[in-house]
Amino acid sequence: MKNRGFSLVEMMVSVSLFGLLGVGLLELYSGSLRFFAKTSSEVALANENSNAMRYVTSQLRPAISIQIQNNGNKIVYSLPQRTILPNPLTGERENVIPVVSDGVVRSFTVTNGRLVDDVTGKVLARNISPVDPDPQSSQYNKIYAPFQLTTIGSRKAVTVTLISARKTSQFDKNTRMKDTVILRNGQ
């Protein structure tokens, strides 16, 4: 007659193997949670910066005059005056010819780590770093100007640079956005 049970050694080996498998699965699960937290933080930071950059550049593109103030931390601009009635063909209000300012002074300011639309008071982006926080960068720990005037050919342009830094207990994340806008109506 054969004995059909498991021996003590077989039971200990199987319990040990299942224990190791359980520890491995828990480590895999906790690692994936850390990766998810890091990735979602990176995406949120990049999304906020890209939305702010898109809004700022769309506002600056039609500007007719621009001034940079506060060492490049503030940009003051004015837009062209528009016609009162819309164009009958396009249905849009067009610029008055010759192009003149609408008389409203608008501005964006980077201060205390925030990019603010000074007209509405709305905070467009947070965690804006006053220095380049990326140790891999050639400009590491150097102050940079978020707004810089430049020219492209014979046209005026503005370079907008936003570097955000978010520090957590587990990692540091930097996001760099840079765009140059040619002014359509720049004088």
Task: Calculate mean pLDDT across residues 64-71.
Answer: 90
What is the average per-residue pLDDT within 128-153?
Answer: 85
pLDDT, tens digit (0-9, with 9 covering 90-100), for 41-58: 778 778 888 899 999 999
Kindly indicate the confidence band of residue 77, based on its pLDDT and cuts at 50, 70 and 90. Answer: very high
Band of pLDDT at residue 147, cut at 50, 70 and 90? very high
Question: pLDDT tens digits, residue range 80-91?
Answer: 888 888 888 888
Supply the pLDDT for residue 131. Answer: 85
User: What pLDDT does residue 168 have?
Assistant: 65
More confident residue, 147 or 38: 147
Closest alpha carbon to 175 in 138, 111, 125: 125
Burial of 136 (0-12, 13-18, 19+ CB in 10 A): exposed
Residue whose structure tokens are 């003051």: 76
d(Cα 170, Cα 38) in Å, to the nearest integer? 8
In this prediction, residues 65-94 reach a mean pLDDT of: 88
Please state the three-class secondary structure of 120-178 as a single string: CCEEEECCECCEECCCCCCCECCECCCEEEEEECCEEEEEEEEEEEEECCCCEEEEEEE
Q: Are 185 and 62 in contact (CB under 8 A)?
A: yes
Average pLDDT over residues 66-93: 88
Say how many CA atoms lie within 13 Å of 42 toward its Cβ: 11
pLDDT for 2 beyond 80: no
